[in-house]
Structure 1
């Protein structure tokens, strides 16, 4: 099963946290293997997770 498909199914903040965790894992794996590309992709995915969480937090603030 594709992880990205699963994170799309999660709602808001949970998807952001999941994406951040996946990114952290990829970043660590890239560092351990000496794979700079995987490490960079992990950082990018982790950042996307943080952005998604911030957007959801802003959306929640606007609703209430």
Structure 2
């Protein structure tokens, strides 16, 4: 049996008022992803987490 290491990259962009809210929502999403991973018997080990949270500057004003 062969083993393969797959590294995932990407980003999630969301609209919230506070960084804390963005982190909470991201952790909930990651929890759901971990749950899906755990349902697959072929996945023996995985680690997925938040690397950074940065505020994206608005490009236009709302009002």
Question: Larger radius of gyration, structure 1 or 2?
Answer: 2
Per chain length, whose mean CA-contact separation is higher, i.e. which structure has more relative contact order (CA < 8 Å, sep 6+)? 1
User: Higher helix proportion, which one?
Assistant: 1
* TM-score, L = length of structure 1: 0.46
